[in-house]
A and B are shown apart, each in its own frame.
Chain A
Amino acid sequence: MKSVTEFKTIMTGNDAVAYGAKLARVKFISAYPITPQTTIVEKLASMIANDELDAKYVEVESEHSALAAVFASELTGVRSYTATSSHGLLYMHEMLHWVSGQRLPIVMSVVNRAIGPPWNIWADQSDTINQRDTGWMQVYSESNQEAMDTIIMGYKIAENSEVMLPLMSMEDAFILSHTSEPVTLRDQDLINEYLPDLDLKFRIDIGNPMGYGSYDTPDGTFMELKKDMVDSMKKAVRVIKDETEKFNQMFDTNYGGLVERYRMDDADYALIAMGTVASTARFVVDKLREKGLNIGLIRIRYFRPFPYDDILEDLKNIKAAGVIDRSVSFGYAGATYSEIVSALYGKINIPVSSFIVGIGGRDVRIEDIEKIADTVRNESSGVYWINVKKVI
């Protein structure tokens, strides 16, 4: 039997993510510092400086440039990586489209942080939710281990020939990024077996000169190219499930595919959450179960592609659901809420409420989730802001 050199240690989410990139054998890293992402790229820079990672690290002069550099290096055929947060991600917006439109399977870590003004560095998923329509897959982790493993699975999924779309992998600011947890460092040989080297079919080649991203006309193939991205996003659903399952078997983990369910089998009521809020929600589910309430939790891992089919299946026998969002869509409800109600529309008719929590890092307490559960149990539907002060 092959010796496996996995070992358990304690590290922050950002260190875990850096180890994820190292295990994925990234060869080019370009980034620009922003709290709370900084410790990811600092860690990677120090790994390179200490010969622990064979990669080139380039600190550029903006996030737009970071993603432009990563775009270009990936196009030459080397696995490339970047990490950012909040305003940095917004600054990348143009390049986000450029990367996905060019079908480059880049993986990027994003530490979810609020968008100013006022300046605020704490947990808030509005930054990535703002990038919903950029053609990137989006995964939200709940633990440091998951954040590490998602980088590795992310490259495997993104580089699948049926997918060829970039992926952003999220951690909630500070709650994961700067909090230490037990993490198992994966065995490099096993990872190599799981994730082969990048083989970009259309990489830059002097012997086969091509144009990359020139221009197209209304009668050309522009519309078809965009539809193909949507089709690939749909195909990604199966690939995500398969690749997550493969990973689970190789590394003895049990990640859900696009969603993770908790005590949903006999549930009458469902809470739906994304990121670390799910940990608190899981605790509350247990507490309420003890009191005899049949409630369960669905944790959304993938926001893109969105798990529409899973949701339909999971909410089949549910009386009412509450969707908890740590982001705001000005003028509407939570972003996950709108996805859920559109999944259910015309198929399952139950009350669904939207709960906005933890904006700008506001603590999401057990009592907050209890209040949410209470509202759900009353089978009401509406948009509720939780733990918000009356300031006006």
Chain B
Amino acid sequence: MPTSIPKEELMAPGHTACHGCGATLAMRYVLKAMGQKTVVSVPASCWAVIPGAMPFRTLDVPMVYTPFAATGASISGLREGLDIQGKTDYNVVGFAGDGGTADIGLQGLSGAMERGHNVFYIMYDNEGYMNTGVQRSGSTPYGAKTTTTPVGKERDFKKENKKIVADMMIAQNVPYVATATIAYPEDLIRKIDHAKAVHGPKFIQILAPCPTGWYYPPEKTIEISRLAVQSRMFPLYEFIQGKFYLNKSFKPVDVSEYVKAQDRFKHLNDDEIDNLRKYVDERWNQLLEWEKIYSEQKE
């Protein structure tokens, strides 16, 4: 079957991720789209561990490890340092988890985007602090059980809705913002190609299902990634230079299909699933609204 996915592999098969790790696929596709002339900066996260202990490395591009909150600033410094030397054709890519982006690194992200550096910030979103053992993050969705929102005698699952960083980046008017997920690699790669055409800061949030933290069998990763889109729990969109495009070309499914496939939601009763259903509808309407507003603005 012909495909738009580049053949080039910049990620070697040897790595230490869990079976079925979505974050690993996310990196693989991102690098395929970026190409060899890329520098990757990774903060504390699963991806700081996946390449293995030194001196091993899984990526065939330079990889800079940074403290947890330092992704935004480190890509700023990498970009400027390279530009000073005329290396303007290198892609500078921050690749951070949802905790490192939505929570501890949010200020650094916002600063880097505001300053307008010509960088890519990729947030791989596995909806929790996975490397430290599945704790709740700002990006964890309503209803999820994590090790710090446990369900015991009390039903202490996460009661708050997901903080959506991509939406925040739109509010900040970042020149390129998109959401993507690994079940749609061609869409993901096309989005990176679009981003590459934009000079300035680019932000892409990639939903990266995590069998270990979402409590589902590893072979279901792609299916769950697809269900996230179909159930509209994770809508795919693109915001290019002020224009907003919402992806509607999928076969819709009910939220319960997504929820039932993962044990992190196992405890939810019908009312609680209905809360999610309502949330998904409201958000979808909001996105449709944005589509209208942003297209009118630009006409």
User: Per-position contact with B for A278-289: 1 when CB-CB < 8 Å, else 0?
Assistant: 000000000000
Task: Chain A residues near B107: list those with CB within 8 A.
Answer: 61-62, 65
Task: Chain B residues near A95: list those with CB within 8 A.
Answer: 67, 70
User: Which of A28, A69, A94, A206 is within 8 Å of B74, CB to CB?
Assistant: A69
Determine whether A297 belongs to the interface, using a CB cutoff of 8 Å to chain B: no
Determine whether A216 belongs to the interface, using a CB cutoff of 8 Å to chain B: yes
Determine whether A217 belongs to the interface, using a CB cutoff of 8 Å to chain B: yes
Q: Measured between alpha carbons, how far is A30 from B70 in the docked complex, in Å?
A: 14
CB pair A214–B54 under 8 Å, yes or no, is: yes
- CB A78 to nearest CB in B, in angstroms, measures 5
Q: Measured between alpha carbons, how far is A70 from B77 in the docked complex, in Å?
A: 6
- CB B115 to nearest CB in A, in angstroms, measures 7
User: Per-position contact with B for A355-391: 1 when CB-CB < 8 Å, else 0?
Assistant: 0000000000000000000000000000000000000
User: Which of A64, A204, A206 is within 8 Å of B78, CB to CB?
Assistant: A204
Closest to B87 in A: A76
CB pair B84–A210 under 8 Å, yes or no, is: no
CB pair B73–A64 under 8 Å, yes or no, is: yes
Determine whether A68 belongs to the interface, using a CB cutoff of 8 Å to chain B: yes
Task: Chain A residues near B110: list those with CB within 8 A.
Answer: 61
CB pair B65–A212 under 8 Å, yes or no, is: yes
- CB B103 to nearest CB in A, in angstroms, measures 14
Determine whether B55 belongs to the interface, using a CB cutoff of 8 Å to chain A: yes
CB pair B84–A215 under 8 Å, yes or no, is: no
CB pair A215–B41 under 8 Å, yes or no, is: no
CB pair A205–B49 under 8 Å, yes or no, is: no
A contacts with B: majority SS: mixed
Determine whether B37 belongs to the interface, using a CB cutoff of 8 Å to chain A: yes
CB pair B53–A58 under 8 Å, yes or no, is: no
Determine whether B80 belongs to the interface, using a CB cutoff of 8 Å to chain A: yes
CB pair A60–B73 under 8 Å, yes or no, is: yes
CB pair A72–B76 under 8 Å, yes or no, is: yes
Determine whether A66 belongs to the interface, using a CB cutoff of 8 Å to chain B: yes
CB pair B64–A213 under 8 Å, yes or no, is: yes
Decide yes or no: A58 and B80 within 8 Å by CB, A64-B73, A72-B73 being known contacts: yes
Q: Measured between alpha carbons, how far is A211 from B63 in the docked complex, in Å?
A: 5
Most chain A beta-carbon neighbours within 10 Å: one of B61, B63, B80, B85? B80
Other than the given A68-B108, A77-B81, 6 more pairs (CB < 8 A) read: A58-B77, A60-B76, A68-B66, A204-B78, A211-B54, A211-B62
Chain A interface residues (CB < 8 Å from chain B): 27-28, 30, 56, 58, 60-62, 64-66, 68-78, 80, 94-95, 98, 204-206, 209-217, 220-221
**A-B contact list, 26 entries, CB within 8 Å:** A28-B84, A30-B77, A56-B84, A58-B80, A61-B111, A62-B107, A64-B70, A68-B66, A68-B67, A68-B73, A71-B70, A72-B41, A72-B76, A73-B84, A74-B77, A75-B78, A76-B78, A77-B81, A95-B70, A206-B61, A206-B90, A209-B60, A209-B63, A212-B64, A214-B65, A220-B54
Across chains A and B, which 3 residue pairs bring their CB atoms closest together, nearest first? Answer: A72-B77, A76-B81, A73-B81
